[in-house]
Amino acid sequence: MNIIKKIKNKIGEVRVAASLIAQKLGHKYGNGRLVGRQIAAIAIENLLSCSDKELPDCLENYQLLDTLGYKKKPDPSIFSHVRKEVGSHAIMEVDQFIIQRLYQSRSIRLLAIDSKFIQTFSKNDVQALFGYFTTPKRDQTAEKKTELKQGYKLHTIIDVETGIPLYWIVLPANKHDSEAFDELFQYVKDHFRIAHEAKFLADSAYDSTHIYEILRYFNIIPVIAINGRGHYKSMTPKDKDYGKRWSIERFFSKLQRKVGILNNRFIGIERVTFHVNSVMIGYMIRYAL
């Protein structure tokens, strides 16, 4: 019940943020509050490990209806309607509204970037493409060190010292991790205060001349593992801060175990992105606010 108490204490802030974004996107004042309430409920859905159909009963069982402003149980169909009408971009704006408030007077000293595989819900999802992933060490053999999977990748850049995600995008699984760098880094550079000679921590997937040049141009120190590419030995940086890159692994672990990032029941990159963005609001409720 501790998680329920935490949710109740933070729902108000999420409802306000969601309502303001809804009004900004054209929903009039009262309707903005209604949309904000539905967005907050969808974000909580993943924390309660339930589906849209089960959500009204979950909210009632955990005594969250009043906290969200419902006078009675909502019809489950309203949540699928909100997903369609509001869209993933609006949910991202709610996420960023919350994150920007947390960073009003904070500088970032350590950044980390990585990706997380999200399996396709249906093999018929034509936007979920196949990509190669490293086989878990316990399952590796001399002949099998990678495997082909269909789905998406969640690419994320976080503040290592707080564990807060700063920006993220969802791409088909066939996209290499380094292809997400430009969009992620550009957003963070434009919207956050990065300390002089901050460090950028990444594994060998980001060992790229292009990435090194951009980081150094903006006085950010690259702390990136060297990719041997089969010609010489791969190496991890000797910089003492490189070990802190575990922070993003821990972040992804929380998304998986506590916030339901892998409970993907959606088809198409737009709907999967909506799912991811609502999960991120749930992450803020549980760990950041």
Structural domain for 98, as ranges: 2-102
Mean pLDDT of 105-133: 95
Which of 22-26, 126-130, 143-147, 170-174 bottoms out in mean pLDDT, i.e. has the lowest?
A: 143-147
Q: Is residue 281 part of a domain?
A: no
The pLDDT of residue 29 is above 70:
no
The pLDDT of residue 1 is above 70:
no
**Average pLDDT over the chain, rounded to an integer:** 92
Q: Are residues 41 and 25 in the same domain?
A: yes
Contacts of 3 (CB under 8 A, 6+ apart): 47, 286
Q: Are residues 139 and 210 in the same domain?
A: yes
pLDDT digits (tens, 9 = 90+) for 210-234: 999 999 999 999 999 998 766 677 7
Indicate which CATH number applies to the domain containing 160: 3.30.420
Mean pLDDT of 108-135: 94
Torsion angle (degrees, nearest 10) of CA 132, 138, 140, 145: 30
- What is the DSSP pairing of strand 107-119 with strand 146-159? antiparallel
Could you give the number of structural domains in the chain? 2
Q: Is residue 271 part of a domain?
A: no
Which pLDDT belongs to residue 230?
Answer: 64
Residue 126: how many other CB atoms lie within 10 Å: 10
Which pLDDT belongs to residue 103?
Answer: 96
Mean pLDDT of 254-282: 94
Which pLDDT belongs to residue 280?
Answer: 97
99 compared with 145, residue with greater pLDDT: 99
Q: Are residues 44 and 90 in the same domain?
A: yes
Mean pLDDT of 137-150: 78
Mean pLDDT of 15-35: 88
Q: Is 6 exposed, middle or buried (0-12, 13-18, 19+ CB in 10 A)?
A: middle
Mean pLDDT of 140-161: 89
Q: Is residue 11 part of a domain?
A: yes
Q: Is residue 167 part of a domain?
A: yes
The Cα–Cα gap between 268 and 126 comes to 7
Q: Are residues 95 and 206 in the same domain?
A: no
Q: Are residues 95 and 184 in the same domain?
A: no
Amino acid residing at 133: F
The Cα–Cα gap between 205 and 183 comes to 16
Q: How many residues does the chain have?
A: 289
Q: Are residues 69 and 87 in the same domain?
A: yes
Which pLDDT belongs to residue 263?
Answer: 86
Q: Are residues 145 and 238 in the same domain?
A: yes
Q: Are residues 127 and 251 in the same domain?
A: yes
Q: Are residues 199 and 60 in the same domain?
A: no
28 compared with 126, residue with greater pLDDT: 126
99 in helix, strand or coil?
A: helix
Q: Are residues 128 and 233 in the same domain?
A: yes
The pLDDT of residue 252 is above 80:
yes
Q: Are residues 177 and 39 in the same domain?
A: no
Q: Are residues 145 and 75 in the same domain?
A: no
Q: Is residue 276 part of a domain?
A: no
Torsion angle (degrees, nearest 10) of CA 249, 252, 254, 259: 180
The pLDDT of residue 9 is above 60:
yes
The pLDDT of residue 131 is above 70:
yes
Which pLDDT belongs to residue 193?
Answer: 97
